[in-house]
Structure 1
Amino acid sequence: MRLQHATWQEVETYLQRETGIIVPIGSTEQHGPNGLVGTDAICPETVAWEIGERHGVLVAPTQNLGMAQHHLAFPGTISLRPSTLIAVLRDTVTSLARHGFTHVFFLNGHGGNIGSLSAAFAEIYTERSMRFGPQPAGELHLTTNNWFAGPRVRELAESLYGDAEGTHATASEVALSWFARPEAIKQVAMSPRIAPRGSARCDADEFRRRFPDGRMGSDPSLASVEHGERLFEASVADVWEAYRAFTRPD
């Protein structure tokens, strides 16, 4: 069930039986020679939509823009400042909490968002704790889950790609995005086959010097739609398990 395809009456009815919601969050950034600029949003969105269909969970619109300043030397990347992303996340959660959602599950597709998500959660909880006068009604629980970090996905990616998985423009995320958008497959030779490794803690120009084609330690030419389908099913299982544990801890 997708929030943007529901009426307000349907959301009101949903809240009578369930107060959890999945918010896919990603980024709009370069993903190497054969990866889509929208990869980091496409992947969590695809997994979230499937969980919504299979299990009747409400899925919010995807937050497509993330904190991706280190990719700005590559055309097509759009980045929010950390402070901007934190503000967007705070307003998103505040809006949902206003309606009665108590468990907001951010399904993330971009490692660069993790710090801003944690900071936003700290701001939200602090604001509730330090508020003078009447406190906000009801409980509020927030969490981040990375679609690529679940045990089934990690085990499968290791078996398929080993050391060629890398840390950005990975074979697994490219494969999942191709499964979701097979019309957008790009076949490109990689040179070198496995990209340089290193840290992304730098500005955009330095990042491009370190990683000239945008990849970090990966060989995404190994990706395939068939791999993407397997990774999709693995992630759906991982994320559903994590969502249930979050919303029903007992």
Structure 2
Amino acid sequence: MRLQHATWPEVEAYLQRATGIIVPIGSTEQHGPNGLVGTDAICPEAIAWALGERHGVLVGPTQAIGMAQHHLAFPGSLTLRPSTLIAVLRDTIVSLARHGFTHVFFLNGHGGNIATVNAAFAEVQAERSLEGRSGELELALFNWFAGRRGRELAESLYGDAEGSHATASEVSLSWFARPEAVKQVPMSPRVAPTGSAQCDADEFRRRFPDGRMGSDPSLASVEHGARFLEAGVEDAWEAYRAFIGQP
């Protein structure tokens, strides 16, 4: 069940039986020569939608623009400032809590979001404490790319060529979700250089000229993407059930 495809009476009825919601969050940024700019939002969204269909959990709209300042030297990349993303997440969480949601589970596709999402959680909880608000509100962040099954699958398929950005696993999953957008592009060098992304946008492009970090996404395939979807669904469902206290 997707929030944006439901009516308000349907959401009200859902809240009579469950108070948890999954919110996909990602980024809009370059993903190398063959990766889609929307990869980091497409991947968690695909997993979340599958969870909603299979398990009846409500899925919120995807927060598709995140923290991506270091990618701004590549056309098409968009970013929010940390303060802006914190404000967006805070208002999203407070809106959901206002309706009676008690467990908000952010399913993340972008490593650069992690610190800011956790800061947003801290802001929300601090505000509630300082204002003396009562009532349960639990917040969680789960990174689909860090799930055990997904990591094991990437290791078995790609080994060290998986890398850390514009990876074959995320490109595969995004292609499975959007097969009409598959791109076949030669990579040179085959495996990209490694290094730190802690820099400004121009320095990032100097370090990683085609946007990849230690990866060879020419290994990606739609068939692999189907397998990553299944692994991601199992990992995320396991984490979500633990979060809401469901055995």
Specify if TM > 0.5. yes
Which residue number corresponds to residue 172 of structure 2? 175
Which amino acid letter does the alignment assign opposite residue 153 of structure 1? G
For residue 225 of structure 1, the aligned residue among 222, 225, 231 is 222
Task: Find out whether 1:208 has 2:213 as its counterpart.
Answer: no
Per the TM alignment, residue 145 of structure 1 is displaced from its structure 2 partner at its CA by 0.3
Which amino acid letter does the alignment assign opposite residue 236 of structure 1? V
Residues of 2 paired with 1:102 and 1:157: CA distance? 34
Residues of 1 paired with 2:25 and 2:124: CA distance? 18
SS of 2:41 mapped into structure 1: helix
Which residue number corresponds to residue 6 of structure 1? 6
Residues of 1 paired with 2:2 and 2:134: CA distance? 26
Which residue number corresponds to residue 27 of structure 1? 27
Which amino acid letter does the alignment assign opposite residue 167 of structure 1? S
Any gaps of 5 or more consecutive residues in structure 1?
none
Aligned length: 247
Residues of 1 paired with 2:68 and 2:22: CA distance? 22
Instruction: Write out per-residue CA displacement over residues 19-61 of structure 1, whole angstroms, 9 at most, x where no aligned residue.
Output: 0000000000000000000000000000000000000000000
Instruction: Write out per-residue CA displacement over residues 113-161 of structure 1, whole angstroms, 9 at most, x where no aligned residue.
Output: 0010010001111111111xxx334200001001111110000000000
Per the TM alignment, residue 10 of structure 1 is displaced from its structure 2 partner at its CA by 0.4
Residues of 2 paired with 1:247 and 1:141: CA distance? 9
Task: Find out whether 1:129 has 2:126 as its counterpart.
Answer: no
Instruction: Write out per-residue CA displacement over residues 147-191 of structure 1, whole angstroms, 9 at most, x where no aligned residue.
Output: 111110000000000000000000000000000000000000000
**RMSD in angstroms over aligned alpha carbons?**
0.8
Q: Mapping of 1:93-132 within 5 angstroms?
A: 93-131=93-131
Residues of 2 paired with 1:113 and 1:150: CA distance? 16
Which residue number corresponds to residue 242 of structure 1? 239
Per the TM alignment, residue 249 of structure 1 is displaced from its structure 2 partner at its CA by 5.6
SS of 2:23 mapped into structure 1: strand
Which residue number corresponds to residue 192 of structure 1? 189
Which residue number corresponds to residue 157 of structure 2? 160
SS of 1:168 mapped into structure 2: coil
Percentage identity across paired residues of the two chains: 80
TM-score normalised by the chain length of structure 1 = 0.98
Residues of 1 paired with 2:245 and 2:53: CA distance? 19
Per the TM alignment, residue 62 of structure 1 is displaced from its structure 2 partner at its CA by 0.3
Residues of 2 paired with 1:35 and 1:176: CA distance? 10
**Runs of 4+ deviating beyond 4 Å:** none
Which residue number corresponds to residue 142 of structure 1? 139
Per the TM alignment, residue 96 of structure 1 is displaced from its structure 2 partner at its CA by 0.2
Instruction: Write out per-residue CA displacement over residues 46-105 of structure 1, whole angstroms, 9 at most, x where no aligned residue.
Output: 000000000000000000100000000000001000110000000000000000000000
Residues of 2 paired with 1:119 and 1:243: CA distance? 21
Instruction: Write out per-residue CA displacement over residues 210-236 of structure 1, whole angstroms, 9 at most, x where no aligned residue.
Output: 000000000000000110000100110
SS of 2:16 mapped into structure 1: helix
Any gaps of 5 or more consecutive residues in structure 2?
none
Residues of 2 paired with 1:83 and 1:138: CA distance? 26
SS of 2:78 mapped into structure 1: coil
SS of 2:158 mapped into structure 1: helix
Residues of 2 paired with 1:228 and 1:174: CA distance? 8
Which residue number corresponds to residue 73 of structure 2? 73
Residues of 2 paired with 1:145 and 1:55: CA distance? 18
